[in-house]
Structure 1
Amino acid sequence: MRDRFANPYTIHEIMKGFKVLMFILCSTGVFAQEDVYHGTKETIPKIPPKDEKIRTVIVSDAKNEIDDVWAIALAILSPEKFQIEGFVGSNYDHVFGVGSKSISGSVSVIETILDKAGLKGKYPVYRGSHPMQYQFEPSHSEGVDFIIEKAMEGSGENPLWVIGLGSATDLASAYLKEPKIADRVIFFWHGRTENTWPYRAHNYNVKGDMHAARILFHSPVPLVLFDTGTNLSAGTMEESKEHVEPFGELGKYLYEYRFKSEYWQGTKKGFFDLGDIAVLVDPELGKWEETICPTVTTYMDYNFYKTNGKFLRCRKVQRDGTFQMLYSKLREHQAARE
């Protein structure tokens, strides 16, 4: 017979129970992430109809990848859809360690695209921020201040669409620096996790600034997650030579940009960010769903135990319709200039 005061459980049983408790606490976010949130997302964005124009600032790590270059071209060729307030060149980094030079590189490429399109000086282009150093401290830059300025000129009825094609630094920092923009902006962010949804927030743009990426999910700012684009191959070089290269300096620039990388010349390279712009110009090119907004752990796992309202997710984009849109607009642009 056991002593009434003796521990009725073995060490093995105690440790097993402790492990279960720790799993529950971590899964629900008690230890996996801080219980510091800025407010529940109460507005689920609605993508404006095809014939409705939107105010926008485009934030892009344009020097980093060819898809940004082609995406920006499509945006500036779509004045019927976008009232572009300006651009922000954002940070990026990779195995070659571009680091602090990335921001000026992005600005330079954006300015070159505008020049090739005959739009030099039409839109302001600002330098964005370096990645956030601390979880809730904004990273300051002229680009962040510009986003805030343009957001505060809007309203809930006429919000500023901040299209983020790169790291989330400038979007998150704008909110952290001026939380009042929350009901005056919509963040449309390329956070492509189609291969890991709904388990992990794992993509290049998250890698660029994990603190900032988490803020997009944890803040009350209305969010559209562009979660697709792997299928957006530009096709063969012959296709680009026929439909892109002949149409002015911009077309030639886009075509020749593919020669910067052997991989970009192949048919397996996704022109991911082109899809972000295409589905805003014509929402029927995308497949959309309203979904619960997870929080994101410090390990970049989606956490559906502790959620934050809902957001809009684009989960699929048509390849042919996207590229045909670009081809058509390149032809129209060149015809208008002749």
Structure 2
Amino acid sequence: MAHSQFPVLPEALRVARLAPPRGPVQCVLDTDTYNEVDDQFALAYALLSPQSLNLQAVYAAPFHNNRSAGPEDGMVKSYAEIQQVIAKMGIAPRDNFVFEGSRSWLIDSNEPVDSPAARDLIKKAMACENEPLYVMTIGAPTNVASALLLEPELVRHIVVVWLGGQPHDWRTAREFNLQQDLFASRILFDSGVPLVQIPCTNVAEHLRVTIPELDAFLGGKNDLGQYLCDIVRGYTKDPFAWSKVIWDISAVAWLINPQWLDSALVHSPTLSSQFTYTQDYTRHLMRVALHLNRDAIFRDLYQKIGCC
């Protein structure tokens, strides 16, 4: 069952859209880049994988934690951090490539938060005629949900690959990306847009690194590699026996090589105001990741960053 304001995709088309992608694919990246330190890895990974990804745009997503004064400040800081990472890679600035996103959360399921990012997503997706535009969403899905509300026909033109939420049998759906914007997260589950969800607990959380490992494989290799080492080192005051989850590279990895992530088609759950899932086997299908190959993903990431 889809949200009433959105077109209903034929289930055969939805299943085809949810099939593991065969690159290269057209894609965009929606990222709360300054939120912690993993989005920087994901942005670099996407930019360094042109054989698999044709990255058409990067959107700054809102966030609110101890690194921002609110969602708008988080989005603005993320926009600046996107530019910083691109500069560290030695890539010349491109016009109409990085866009500011939402400055607030959704206040209900019917009112979008308009932004340059949402408008650009609509423009690029609606121009895709034969193949969908893949939307790698590695923050709160406010920009993507707003674009869907602004243009419901987007359901026919995109596939959302979202790092967010918890496994559907977990005691809670709560997770940073999902819980920041409950209404936006519900739209991903309810609109019928083809959705690939990568949960955090027991899936993306396996993407852990330590400072000695980063120093060994990326330290001193180039400006980007050293920058990534430095921001991870600066993220903790007690690095002894400590590891950092680089969650967000999972969404990029799905598009580069979906065999690195075990996944299954399931019925989309409903998301309650108490941040719990309810299963409803009459609802439309989505894909959810169940496990991933941590070593294969980091091997590919390190090789690409080390040689850039």
Question: What is the TM-score of this pair, normalised by structure 1?
Answer: 0.82
SS of structure 2 residue aligned to 1:121: coil
Q: Which amino acid aligns with 2:290?
A: R
**Superposition pairs of residues 206-285 of structure 1, within 5 angstroms:** 206-227=178-199, 228-235=203-210, 237-262=211-236, 265=239, 267-285=242-260
Question: What is the TM-score of this pair, normalised by structure 2?
Answer: 0.89
1:189 correspondence with 2:162 = yes
Number of residue pairs matched by the alignment: 294
Give distance in 2, aligned partners of 1:230 and 1:252.
23
Mapped contact 1:217–1:308 kept (Cα < 8 A): no
4+ runs of 1 displaced by more than 6 Å? Answer: none
Deviation at residue 118 of structure 1 after TM alignment: 1.2
Q: Percent identity?
A: 26
Aligned to 1:145, which of 119, 134, 142? Answer: 119
Q: Which amino acid aligns with 1:160?
A: L
1:66 correspondence with 2:40 = no
Deviation at residue 302 of structure 1 after TM alignment: 1.2
Give distance in 2, aligned partners of 1:76 and 1:282.
15
Identify if the C-alpha distance between structure 1 residues 73 and 96 changes in structure 2 by more than 3 Å, giving closer, same or farther: closer
Aligned to 2:73, which of 101, 107, 114? Answer: 101
SS of structure 2 residue aligned to 1:149: helix
Q: Which amino acid aligns with 1:224?
A: V
Deviation at residue 308 of structure 1 after TM alignment: 2.5
SS of structure 1 residue aligned to 2:243: coil
SS of structure 2 residue aligned to 1:163: strand
Q: Which amino acid aligns with 2:116?
A: E
Moved more, 115-124 or 66-75: 115-124
Mapped contact 2:61–2:75 kept (Cα < 8 A): yes
Mark the runs of 5 or more structure 2 residues left unpaired by the alignment: none
Give distance in 2, aligned partners of 1:78 and 1:137.
35
Deviation at residue 39 of structure 1 after TM alignment: 5.3
Give distance in 2, aligned partners of 1:96 and 1:66.
11
Deviation at residue 206 of structure 1 after TM alignment: 1.1
Q: Deviations over 1:63-105 (max 9, x none)?
A: 0011111111111110111111110000001256520211110
Mapped contact 1:77–1:330 kept (Cα < 8 A): yes
Mapped contact 1:55–1:85 kept (Cα < 8 A): yes
Q: Deviations over 1:23-76 (max 9, x none)?
A: xxxxxxxxxxxx856455630311213xx2111110000000111111111111
Q: Which amino acid aligns with 2:174?
A: H
**Superposition pairs of residues 1-338 of structure 1, within 5 angstroms:** 38=6, 40=8, 42=11, 43-44=14-15, 45-49=18-22, 52-94=23-65, 98-99=69-70, 100-122=72-94, 124-129=97-102, 130-155=104-129, 157-194=130-167, 197-227=169-199, 228-235=203-210, 237-262=211-236, 265=239, 267-305=242-280, 307-333=282-308
Deviation at residue 166 of structure 1 after TM alignment: 0.0
Moved more, 57-66 or 320-329: 320-329
Give distance in 1, aligned partners of 2:26 and 2:273.
33
Mark the runs of 5 or more structure 1 residues left unpaired by the alignment: 1-34, 334-338
Cα RMSD over matched residues? 2.0
Give distance in 2, aligned partners of 1:252 and 1:147.
32
Give distance in 1, aligned partners of 2:88 and 2:231.
13
Mapped contact 2:6–2:155 kept (Cα < 8 A): no
Moved more, 308-317 or 40-49: 40-49
Deviation at residue 202 of structure 1 after TM alignment: 1.4
Mapped contact 1:296–1:303 kept (Cα < 8 A): yes
Deviation at residue 120 of structure 1 after TM alignment: 3.0
SS of structure 2 residue aligned to 1:284: helix
